[in-house]
Amino acid sequence: MSDASEPGDTSDLQAFRGQVQDFLVANCARRGEVSMDEADDEVTTARRFQASLAGAGLAGITFPREFGGAGLSATHQEVFDDVSAPWHLPNLPLAISHGMCLPVLNQFGTDAQRSDFMPDNINGRTIWCQMFSEPGAGSDVAGLSTRAVRDGDRWVLNGQKVWTSGAHYCDYGIVVARTEPDVPKHQGLSMFIVDMADPAIEVRPLRQISGESGFNEVFFTDAHIPTDWLLGDLNQGWSLAVAMLMFERVSIGAGRGGLGGERVTQNLINLARQLDKAEDPRTRQDLADLWIRERIKGFIGRRIRDAVAAGRVPGPEGSIAKLNGALLARTIRDVSMELVGAAGQAWGPDGGDGERWSTFCLSAAGISIAGGTDEVQRNIIGERVLGLPREPNPFKDVAWEDVPRN
Ligand SMILES: Cc1cc2nc3c(=O)[nH]c(=O)nc-3n(C[C@H](O)[C@H](O)[C@H](O)COP(=O)(O)OP(=O)(O)OC[C@H]3O[C@@H](n4cnc5c(N)ncnc54)[C@H](O)[C@@H]3O)c2cc1C
């Protein structure tokens, strides 16, 4: 086993650090040297990688052993994050499954739900998606229209979701639906687990500007949900949804694999050297600014991840992380496009840095939208962190079914 101790490590942490290092050497490529098995797609690779992480006792690090996790501490998670930072972990298709669905299952699931669903989620045998947004309810997700109606020993689901990332390869989903239309909108929502293999669920991929199809429309036509797949209490779905949104914001804004960072400054410094631009004073200033912002992101993330690992649901600080991650992504986009120049628009058959940064550039706008837009994060920070007056809401006490909508 590697001897990879750090000052302050206990013998247990030292052994764990070595265990992580050995696993990464055997199973991963360093960032920038990625070589994916071309026979496999990204999802198959992610499932296989997750299974090997689980086999090494390194999956679901802070989740309870009895539900498939490793049962270790937040400090072990930090060690894993630190040691794995320079490595490419091919698990992006699991980001929502692990960053949002898993903590919600763990926090709000019954023991039966946790033992039925968490082990397979943790080891990548099942992948989960999150179904909140609808054509008429994005920022105002509490206004959603998808209905779940009780019919004997099951719920019957009808409606439409949109922008559901990964629904086309997911096995299960967490959906928020309206169960009580004649109370104010926040009070009549419930959260359910759904089986994406149900033939009453139709998934239609949406094509994006990058040419990829990362998200989908999802249609429910009399889809059936067993009554014991209700998460949390009936009509209490809004508080679970808020918790899940905060997990999402933390995952996007502060997660180590999030789109908003990935310690890209070092990659851009390498690129500047490679392109002979590292001595240019403006480039140096841009890179120094980026380095500072990325460090701040790291500190915010570490603080929030510690809280999550200690079993707390993140509060409005998740919005600070999310907004900061989105602003950082835009800075990365601008600096990288300056550096690669015309290669950001057209590149040779070997792809190279132009293709890589062009893809990042096209994805950057989405980071300001996914998980709640920048404007919505600023509202939350204004109201819940700074204590500014709340936005006026004339429909606060009006039953959802009486609120005018398109
Ligand atoms: C990459 C990506 C992945 C996504 N993945 C998922 C997913 O897996 N599951 C899921 O459920 N959803 C997903 N979404 C959807 C995302 O959550 C919504 O797009 C987002 O909440 C915004 O909703 P909307 O698109 O309906 O925009 P709208 O809510 O219609 O907003 C339109 C504009 O109005 C502004 N606005 C709205 N309300 C206010 C306000 N009160 N104050 C100030 N400005 C306001 C917004 O900032 C925005 O600029 C994803 C989106 C993206 C981009």
One domain for residues 206 and 98: no
What is the tens place of the pLDDT at every residue in 76-100? 988 998 898 888 899 999 999 999 9
- The per-residue pLDDT for 136 is 94
| Ligand 1 nearest-atom number relative to CA 96 | 8
- The per-residue pLDDT for 4 is 62
| Ligand 1 nearest-atom number relative to CA 372 | 21
pLDDT at 295 > cutoff 90: no
What is the tens place of the pLDDT at every residue in 262-271? 567 888 888 8
287: CA distance to ligand 1 center in Å? 30
Region 182-208 average pLDDT: 97
Among the candidates 234, 256, 276, a domain finishes at 234
Share of the chain above pLDDT 90, in %: 61
**Does the annotation mark 212 as catalytic?**
no
Kindly indicate the confidence band of residue 258, based on its pLDDT and cuts at 50, 70 and 90: very low
Neighbouring C-alpha atoms within 13 Å toward the C-beta of 53 = 28
Domain count of the fold of the chain: 3
pLDDT at 348 > cutoff 90: no
CATH code, domain with 292: 1.20.140.10
For ligand 1, atom 40, the nearest C-alpha belongs to 376
The residue segments making up the domain with residue 271 are: 240-385
**Integer Cα distance of 54 and 124 in angstroms:** 9
Region 54-66 average pLDDT: 96
For ligand 1, atom 32, the nearest C-alpha belongs to 139
pLDDT at 2 > cutoff 80: no
One domain for residues 230 and 244: no
One domain for residues 375 and 290: yes
313: CA distance to ligand 1 center in Å? 22
pLDDT at 32 > cutoff 60: no
In a domain, 355, yes or no: yes
